[in-house]
Amino acid sequence: MKDGPRPPREVITSPRSRAAGSTARQDLGEQTRLGDILIRSLIRTQLHLALRLGALIALLLGSLPLLFAYIPAVRRQHVFGLPLPWLLLGVLVYPVLLAGGALYVRQAERNERDFEDFVDHS
């Protein structure tokens, strides 16, 4: 008994079943709530890294004037004919800042690689 051509089949699914099968990469691309949470997590991780490293550098460089203020013998030291405070604050500061910047970039890139690995494997 053929009454005519059959209509095409339609698959009806719950919106929840799509969410259960979606990947993190899809959520990022479609800017879903989960994708937003993942991006915020990466931003928060990068912010924590910047704050920790900034605090460490501020502690290192900020302690030098205190060292000079509380230990006068250090203030009077000379190295290569230059006063030690001038040498430390005028020359040694830059390698510390460069090392801190290089460390930040390396750690930030590692955080991004970990994030990409998580997104790719979820």
Place of tokens 């290089």: 102
The rounded mean pLDDT for the chain is: 85
**Has residue 95 been placed in a domain?**
yes
**Residues 69-109 pLDDT 10s:** 999 998 899 998 989 888 888 888 999 999 999 999 999 99
Question: Domain for residue 3, yes or no?
Answer: no
Place of tokens 């970039």: 105
Residue 37 structural domain: 23-121
In a domain, 70, yes or no: yes
Pairing of strands 82-83, 78-79: antiparallel
In a domain, 109, yes or no: yes
Contact (Cβ atoms closer than 8 angstroms) between residue 75 and residue 84: yes
1 within domain boundaries? no
Q: Is residue 16 part of a domain?
A: no
Q: What is the mean pLDDT of residues 7-13?
A: 74
Domain total in the chain: 1
Inside any domain, residue 105: yes
- Asked if the structure places residue 14 within a domain, the reply is no
